[in-house]
């Protein structure tokens, strides 16, 4: 965010500064001065987008996609995201991938979705790196390449994305695209769990219950099972019932 004061930011936005208009919109979206207010953000995003500000173009597309502060309109969302993507905006490329993967405002087209994920991944979007890696692992929309998938998962994991850290742990557990290393898998599960990933809590608990004897920690495993169960993980609930029958009562 800008280091300008609120008054300076408002003045710059009103004077037509696209960057200030975008930053002002963000203050409304983030609720820095109260509850988030997408309706107040909308005109400032539009003003910045009209000047070609890439992040504002992307933000405008997201508001139309979610119906936040403006009428829900998938076609308008797709239009603005495409303009932002043409400018190389990573989040716009990623969002277009989601649109074509799930058929939102467009026909499902997995190869096209994966291509958008690839472009966004190369532009540094961690979420896109995760999704592109999943496509390379599954071979859906692109030729399967588990080794390349691991490279992208490493990048996204390094950015602190819990989902990628979890997926990397699974690959290490199974020896998929990388040499099997269950100790390292547990380390990645631990990082993903620290980020709140539910399945990572469960997988780490399994390692602590059944892994190498010198690293087993049943009390901690039960604690992690409980955390996962509280968030709806059925396998964790089953484990709690097995280990502590009173948990299921």
Asked whether the CA dihedral 160, 231, 200, 193 is positive or negative, the reply is positive
Whole-angstrom Cα distance, residue 224 to residue 95?
33
Query: Is 195 inside a domain boundary?
Result: yes
CATH of the domain at 222: 1.25.40.10
Query: Is 229 inside a domain boundary?
Result: yes
Query: Is 228 inside a domain boundary?
Result: yes
**pLDDT value for 216:** 94
Q: Is the pLDDT of residue 159 over 60?
A: yes
Q: Between the CA of residue 29 and those of 26, 39, 49, 161, what are the distances in Å?
A: 5, 9, 16, 22
Query: Is 5 inside a domain boundary?
Result: no
Q: Is the pLDDT of residue 247 over 60?
A: no
Number of domains comprising the chain: 1
- Residue-number span of the structural domain to which 228 is assigned: 160-244
Q: Is the pLDDT of residue 130 over 80?
A: yes
Query: Is 37 inside a domain boundary?
Result: no
Query: Is 23 inside a domain boundary?
Result: no
Whole-angstrom Cα distance, residue 61 to residue 67?
10
Q: Distance between terminal CA atoms of the chain?
A: 50
Contact 70, 42 (CB under 8 A): yes
State pLDDT tens for residues 13-61.
Answer: 999 999 999 999 999 999 877 889 999 999 999 999 999 999 999 999 9
Whole-angstrom Cα distance, residue 200 to residue 70?
37
In this predicted structure, which of 3-12, 75-84, 143-152 has the lowest mean pLDDT?
Answer: 3-12
Q: Is the pLDDT of residue 11 over 60?
A: yes
Contact 195, 162 (CB under 8 A): yes
Query: Is 70 inside a domain boundary?
Result: no
Query: Is 68 inside a domain boundary?
Result: no
């Amino acid at each position: 965010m800008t280091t300008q004061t609120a008054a300076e930011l408002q003045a710059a936005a009103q004077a037509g500064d696209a960057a200030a208009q975008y930053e002002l919109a963000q203050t409304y979206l983030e609720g820095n001065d109260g509850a988030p207010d997408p309706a107040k953000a909308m005109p400032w995003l539009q003003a910045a987008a009209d000047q070609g500000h890439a992040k504002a173009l992307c933000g405008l597309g997201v508001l139309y996609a979610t119906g936040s502060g403006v009428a829900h309109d998938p076609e308008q969302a797709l239009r603005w995201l495409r303009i932002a993507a043409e400018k190389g905006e990573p989040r716009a490329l990623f969002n277009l991938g989601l649109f074509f993967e799930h058929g939102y405002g467009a026909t499902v087209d997995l190869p096209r979705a994966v291509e958008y994920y690839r472009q966004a991944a190369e532009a540094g979007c961690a979420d896109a790196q995760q999704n592109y890696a999943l496509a390379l692992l599954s071979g859906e929309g692109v030729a399967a390449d588990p080794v390349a998938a691991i490279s992208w998962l490493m990048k996204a994991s390094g950015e602190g994305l819990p989902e990628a850290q979890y997926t990397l742990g699974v690959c290490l557990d199974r020896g998929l695209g990388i040499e099997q290393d269950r100790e390292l898998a547990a380390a990645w599960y631990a990082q993903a769990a620290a980020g709140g990933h539910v399945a990572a809590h469960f997988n780490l608990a399994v390692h602590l219950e059944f892994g190498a004897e010198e690293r087993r920690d049943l009390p901690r495993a039960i604690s992690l099972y409980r955390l996962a169960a509280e968030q709806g993980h059925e396998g964790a609930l089953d484990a709690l019932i097995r280990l502590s029958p009173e948990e299921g009562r």
